[in-house]
């Protein structure tokens, strides 16, 4: 078995790749893993083992068709994580989001088709559904993305669907809620707040803090992705959720407690443009069809995550020094 993981030097892709290399995914314990990653500011070679007999690392762009046609032959499956993922950046550099997220997905699927790779999982997000006041999204909910990031991901989902409908590609699409865990870039909300507090700095909370997000540990997301890779049906979409939903203000209180900081460490900042109010996922389909259920309770996962950042300043400090958007918070 040989698996190509695009974006495998980023937060979730590297967690999935490490899981494969550590033999944690059923049926793929001996799989060879190729990570293809452009190493943008979000990609970090340190997220992967430096040397592993079953790992091949290729630095490259998912928009580079000749490179993909060279790399893909011999692979049985592709798990496609590579994307521009930070909503705040998409407000300023939307073209890069469309190029990588929409164009990169099309280029990758074209290469998959031409090289005969058998199976693809396209990793998407619940943000493609927009924002809702009550209830929860099923896989049949309309796509109503509100930010350039979400719109570029929605475009990539539609491109993926077209490669299934038109060319019969064996691919499934996943749409997951907000992830958290170790190795997440410190521009994202949880690592941003934890690392600010560890440095004795105040944390910037958007607007009234009442935006609701559903948080899922990255390990649960990766188990869901592997279930979809091995048991998901072609052309189907699988929502992945089941995490813990709470307001950003409540999450901030929890992070203050974990870091031993008081309420005075919160700084209210102006709300972000197009800030979605509430996300909520109905993941009945993946639970009933593939037996998915999250395993990591939020309180434990959050405490472990805060401890990981406390114990690994050498990983995040250099990233924080270079990140131009470090003063903003973002849930996803």
Question: Is residue 79 near ligand NAD by the rule CB under 6 A?
Answer: no
Stretch that binds ligand NAD, among 16-24, 175-183, 280-288, 318-326 (CB under 6 A): 175-183
Question: Is residue 239 near ligand NAD by the rule CB under 6 A?
Answer: no
| Pick 72 or 82: Cβ nearer ligand NAD | 82
- For 188-252, the DSSP string reads SHHHHHHHHHHTTPPEEEETTS--EEEEEEHHHHHHHHHHHHHHPPTT-EEEE--SEEEEHHHHH
Examine the residue annotation and report whether 134 is marked as an active-site residue of this protein: no
* Angle of helix 11-21 versus helix 218-231 axis, rounded to 10: 70
**Residue span 42-71 as binding mask against ligand NAD, x where in contact by CB under 6 A, dash where not:** xx-----------------xxx--------
Question: CA torsion, points 290, 3, 9, 171, in degrees to nearest 10?
Answer: -50
Question: Is residue 11 near ligand NAD by the rule CB under 6 A?
Answer: yes
Closest C-alpha to 191, from 76, 329, 93: 329
According to CB under 6 A, which one of 3, 4, 13, 160 is a site residue for ligand NAD? 13
Question: Is residue 141 near ligand NAD by the rule CB under 6 A?
Answer: no
Examine the residue annotation and report whether 127 is marked as an active-site residue of this protein: yes
Examine the residue annotation and report whether 149 is marked as an active-site residue of this protein: yes
Question: Is residue 3 near ligand NAD by the rule CB under 6 A?
Answer: no
User: What's the Cα-to-Cα distance from 257 to each of 23, 212, 304, rounded to whole Å?
Assistant: 35, 19, 13
Question: Is residue 217 near ligand NAD by the rule CB under 6 A?
Answer: no
**Per-residue tokens: 318:** 């250099």
Give the whole-angstrom CA distance, residue 256 versus residue 193.
9
Give the whole-angstrom CA distance, residue 225 versus residue 240.
9
| Pick 219 or 261: Cβ nearer ligand NAD | 219
Task: State how far Cα 79 lies from the chain centre.
Answer: 12
**Footprint of ligand NAD on residues 93-132 (CB under 6 A)?**
100, 104, 123, 125
Catalytic residue positions, numbered: 126-127, 149
Residue ranges that bind ligand NAD, judged by CB under 6 A: 6-7, 9-13, 37-40, 42-43, 61-63, 81-85, 100, 104, 123, 125, 153, 176, 178-179, 185, 332
């Amino acid at each position: 078995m040989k698996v190509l993981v695009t974006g495998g030097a980023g937060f979730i892709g590297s967690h999935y790749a490490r899981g494969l290399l550590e033999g944690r995914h059923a049926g793929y314990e001996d799989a060879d893993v190729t990570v293809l990653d452009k190493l943008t500011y979000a990609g970090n070679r340190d997220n992967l083992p430096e040397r592993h007999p079953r790992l091949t690392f290729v630095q490259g762009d998912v928009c580079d068709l000749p490179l993909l046609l060279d790399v893909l032959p011999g692979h049985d499956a592709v798990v496609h994580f590579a994307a521009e993922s930070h909503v705040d950046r998409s407000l300023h550099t939307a073209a890069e989001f469309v190029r990588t997220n929409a164009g990169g997905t099309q280029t990758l699927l074209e290469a998959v088709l031409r090289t005969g790779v058998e199976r693809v999982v396209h990793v998407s997000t619940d943000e493609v559904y927009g924002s809702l006041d009550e209830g929860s999204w099923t896989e049949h909910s309309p796509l109503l993305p509100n930010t350039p990031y979400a719109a570029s991901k929605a475009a990539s989902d539609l491109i993926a669907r077209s490669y299934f409908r038109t060319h019969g590609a064996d691919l499934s699409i996943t749409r997951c809620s907000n992830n958290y865990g170790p190795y997440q870039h410190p521009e994202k909300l949880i690592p941003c707040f934890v690392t600010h507090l560890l440095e004795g700095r105040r944390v910037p909370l958007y607007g009234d803090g009442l935006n609701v997000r559903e948080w899922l540990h990255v390990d649960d997301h990766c188990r869901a992705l592997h279930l979809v890779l091995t048991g998901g049906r072609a052309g189907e979409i699988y929502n992945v959720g089941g995490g813990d939903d709470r307001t950003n203000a409540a999450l901030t209180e929890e992070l203050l407690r974990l870091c031993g900081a008081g309420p005075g460490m919160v700084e209210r900042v102006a709300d972000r443009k197009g800030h979605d109010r509430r996300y909520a996922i109905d993941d009945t389909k993946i639970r009933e069809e593939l037996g998915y259920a999250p395993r990591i309770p939020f309180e434990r996962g959050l405490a472990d995550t805060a401890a990981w950042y406390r114990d690994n300043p050498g990983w995040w400090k250099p990233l924080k020094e270079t990140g131009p958007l470090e003063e903003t918070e973002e849930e996803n």
